[in-house]
Amino acid sequence: MEDNLLKGNFEVKKPIKLGDQEKEKSVGEELKKRALGTLGGSMVYMERKHFTWDGDE
Amino acid sequence: MAKILIINPVIREDDEPKHIPYGLALLASIAMGQGHLVQVYDENAWRKGDEVIAKVCQADCWDAIATGGLTTTYRSIKKILNICKANAPEAFVIAGGGFFTSMPHEMMRWIPEIDLGVIGEAFVTWPEVLGKIDSKDFDFSRTLGVCYREGNETVLTGVRPNIKDLDRLPYPAWDLFPLDIYFRNSALSLSEVAFRSKRRMDIMGSLGCGMVCKFCWHLGTTGDMIVDENDEGKKDVRFTYGRNIRYFSPRYIVEMVKTLVRKYGVDFVYFIDENFMTMDMASGRTWLKELCECWIKEGLQPMSRRQGLPDEENEGGVFWSGTSHAGLAYRDILDLMYRAGCASLVYGTESFDPEILKNLGKGVNQRQNIDALKTCMDSGIVPIPNIMIGFPEETFKSIRTTIEWMIKLGIHSKPHFATPYPGSEWYYTYKDSIIEQYNGDLEAFIKELGDAMKLTAVISHNFSPLQLLGLQQIVMQRDLRLLDLAEKHWGEAGTLTKTIAEPRNSFNIIKRKIQAPIEGQKERNNPNHVNR
C-alpha cells in the first residue's frame, strides 16, 4: 500500500504519511456506509448522533 | 517555478473510487512538463476527510492550489476550497472543469475562495496561468479562457481556442495518484471480462461528439462554447451545436496502452471518451479501424480473441470498452473491435418511444435503438443500454413502450431520471422551473446533483416527483400491470395538477451550429466578441 498521501515531483516540507492519519474508518462509519447502501425492508439504519428529540413531547 | 497543490475532489460519495481523474492527471503532467513543482492529493481515493485536507494545505507553502471536476463534484469542491483558504490563505486558488465552465459567474459567487476559474479546455490556459503566477503577475484580463475577480465583479475573458493536435499532449501523471486504491476497484459490472479485471485504467481517445442530445453537455471543451455579452452587457458563456471534434492518433493511443501494460500491468482499459463510436463517423470510418488494427498488430489483442478461445481462458493482452451510438452499429467495425478485445459498449438507448427519441436530438429512431443492441450482441460485444425516464414529453404510453422493449430485449435497468445538468439544453430551457422547485435557491439544486439515479429537478410536463419515483420502480420491475393501474389513478397535468416544468428560451443556449475557435483558425471567423 502506498504510504504518502501527497505525491509529486518534490519533497514537501511536512510530509503526510498514511500511518500518521486515522488509517481506517471506524467500524461505525463502515457499517453506516454499508447499511445505507442496502436500505430496504428490514434493513434500516438509525443515526447515532443526530437524535434531536429531547423527550419533552 | 510555482509550487502547486492539485486536489481531486470526491465524486460519487456512495461508490468506491474507480476512475483516476484523467483531466487532473493530464494537467499535473503539463505543469511538471513546464518545470513547476507539483503535488497531488486525491481526496476521492483516500477519503480521509477535512482534517487531512487541512494538513495537506499546511504541508508546504503553496503558490497555487487547484481543483476541478464535473458539476457532480460541486459539493466536495466547495468544502475543499473552504478548508484550503482557511489553512493556506496565501495560496492562489484556481478552479476549472465542467462544474465551473457551465456557470462561471455563479461559481465565483457561491465559492468566494476561488481566485481564478478556467473555462473550457485548459491545455493551454493552465500552463499560461501557472507561468503568470510564477512571475507574480495576477492581471488575467488578457488571458483567454478565464474568469477573474475585479472588485466585487467577476469578469469572463474570451474562449481559448481548442488545440488542434491532441497528440502533442503528454501522458497523464498517473504516478501522482494512489493507484493501489484504484486497482483494488478495477472490476466493473459491464461484462464478464470487465468484472474479472484486476488492473484497469482509463484512457481517452477523443474529444467531442457530433450529436446534440438535449440532456448532454460537452464541457465547453469541444467547440461547443462561445463567450458573448448578455443583455446586461456582461460577458457570459453560451453553448451551441458547434463542434471541434478531435481524436488522438491510433499510434498515440496504442503506445500509451503499451506503456500502461509495461509500467502497471493493466489488463483492461476503459475509454472515457464522450462518445467513442462517433469517431468512426467523424473520421470517415477510418480511425476505429486503424486503432483496432494497430491494437492487434502491436500485441495488445487478448490471446482468447486471437485464438478463438473463451475469454475465461485468456492470458495476456488488454480488453477494452467504451461508449457507442445506436446509429453507428455497423457489423464490420463491431466484428473488428471484438477481435481487438472490445468487451462492452455503452449505448445511450434512453427510451424506446419514437416520439421521445424524435425530440431528444440523438439522431436515432426506435428501430435503430433495437437493431443496434442486437447487432452489437451478435458481434460478441456486450451492449449496455442506458435507460432514462422523466423526459419532458414522457407519458404512460412512452413508459409502456420502453418497458415492452426492455422485456423483449432482456434489459434490466433501474432507469436514470431525466436531469437538467448545467450546460445542457434542458438546463437552460427549464432553469426558471428548476429555481422555482428549489424555492429560489439554484445552488441547492447544484449541490444535489449526482449521477441521475436520485430525482432532483423535474422537467417532465406530465408527471410529479411522486409519480416519477413510482415509475422508476415500475420500470425496474418491468411491471405493466402496475403501470396500467397507475394510469387509471392519475390526473393529467393542467386539469387536476399543475405542470411543474415549463420551457423557456435562454441567452446561454444557441440551438444552431456556431464555429467556436480552434488553433490555426483565422481571426475573422472567430465569433467571440472579446477583448484580446
- pLDDT given at position B387: 96
- pLDDT given at position B529: 45
- pLDDT given at position A3: 78
What is each CA distance from B267 to B202, B312, B465, in whole angstroms?
11, 13, 43
- pLDDT given at position B495: 66
Which residues does chain A have within 8 Å of residue B56's beta carbon, measured at their own beta carbons? 5-6, 16
Name the grid cell of B512. 444552431
- pLDDT given at position B524: 42
Which residues does chain B have within 8 Å of residue A33's beta carbon, measured at their own beta carbons? 14
Which residues does chain B have within 8 Å of residue A9's beta carbon, measured at their own beta carbons? 32, 37-38
| Preferred mutation among B16, B34, B41, B84 to probe A, highest tally of A CBs within 10 A | B41
- pLDDT given at position A40: 76
Element (H, E) at B336: helix B331-340
Q: Is the pLDDT of residue A53 over 80?
A: no
Chain A residues within 8 Å of chain B (Cβ atoms): 1-2, 5-10, 12-16, 21-22, 33, 36-37
Q: Is the pLDDT of residue A1 over 60?
A: no
Q: For A2, which of B38, B41, B178 is closest by C-beta distance?
A: B178
- With a cut of 0.85, is the ipTM above it? yes
- pLDDT given at position B257: 98
Contact A6 B14 (CB under 8 A): no
Q: What percent of chain B has pLDDT over 70?
A: 97
Could you give the CA distance from residue B186 to residue B166 in angstroms, rounded to a whole number? 27
Contact B38 A15 (CB under 8 A): no
Name beta bridge partners: A7: B40
**Per-domain residue ranges of chain B:** 3-166
- Which residues of chain B fall below pLDDT 70? 493-498, 522-532
Q: Are B515 and B213 in contact (CB under 8 A)?
A: no
- pLDDT given at position A24: 60
Q: Are B309 and B341 in contact (CB under 8 A)?
A: no
In tens, the pLDDT along B472-505 reads 999 999 999 999 999 998 877 666 666 778 898 8
Could you give the CA distance from residue B126 to residue B16 in angstroms, rounded to a whole number? 29
Q: Is the pLDDT of residue A57 over 70?
A: no
- pLDDT given at position A48: 76
Contact B48 A22 (CB under 8 A): yes
User: Closest Cα to residue B241, out of B223, B260, B261?
Assistant: B223
Residue of A nearest to B36 (CA): A9
- pLDDT given at position A22: 58
CA triple B449-B455-B460, angle to 5 deg:
115
Count other Cβ atoms within 10 Å, centred on residue B53.
22
In tens, the pLDDT along A4-37 reads 999 999 999 999 988 766 556 678 888 888 888 8
Could you give the CA distance from residue B354 to residue B362 in angstroms, rounded to a whole number? 12
- Report the amino acid identity of residue B208: G
Contact A8 B176 (CB under 8 A): yes
Which residues does chain B have within 8 Å of residue A16's beta carbon, measured at their own beta carbons? 52, 55-56, 59
- pLDDT given at position B531: 36
User: Closest Cα to residue B517, out of B221, B269, B312?
Assistant: B221
Contact B175 A7 (CB under 8 A): yes
Report domain B3-166's class.
alpha beta
Which residues does chain A have within 8 Å of residue B177's beta carbon, measured at their own beta carbons? 7
Task: Please provide the size of chain B in residues.
Answer: 532
Residue of A nearest to B28 (CA): A8
Q: For B59, which of A2, A14, A37 is closest by C-beta distance?
A: A14
